[in-house]
Amino acid sequence: MIRRWNPDTVAAPIGMYSHLAQVPSGHELVVISGQVGALPDGSLAGADAEAQTEAVFANLERLLAAAGAQPEHVVKLFSMVAGAEHLPGLRTVVKRTFTRWYPDGDWPAQSLIVAAALARPDLLVEVEAMAAVPR
């Protein structure tokens, strides 16, 4: 089982994440490229951050399944949002998704960056992931 924790030698996390996540022996590390709000047919899920973030996490679930993993195997997420005005949409979906994925609050390590732009002007959110998949 992945160990996630917050040592008392640093301040508590300011959001839904753990400071540390440790991959146990007997697991393979799977790295998932940044996912954007594209639907399976390639079209964009919507013009707002909430719709795009919903599609991002649906894509992550499909990719985890393809690798033989589930959300509980996620070790780290790295989120990028194109402008601070899109943070509320991202955070709404992260809270909803994490409540479903991690009902006990055993959240993965996570980082978030606000960027001036992503790869295309219509992309508002991108999320990378790393997962520890049992062999």
All structural domains of the chain, each given as residue ranges with its CATH number in brackets, are: 26-134 (3.30.1330.40)
Which band of pLDDT confidence, cut at 50, 70 and 90, is reported for residue 1? confident
The more confident residue out of 99 and 1 is: 99
Tens of pLDDT along 40-98?
999 999 999 999 999 999 999 999 999 999 999 999 999 999 999 999 999 999 999 99
Tens of pLDDT along 90-109?
999 999 999 999 999 999 99
For tokens 């954007």, what's the residue? Answer: 36
Looking at residue 88, its pLDDT comes to 98
- Region 123-134: mean pLDDT is 97
The rounded distance, in Å, linking the Cα atoms of 37 and 58 is: 9
Tens of pLDDT along 4-51?
999 999 999 999 999 999 999 999 999 999 999 999 999 999 999 999
Residue 113 has pLDDT above 90, yes or no: yes
Question: Is the sign of the CA dihedral 108, 105, 59, 80 positive or negative?
Answer: negative
pTM equals: 0.93
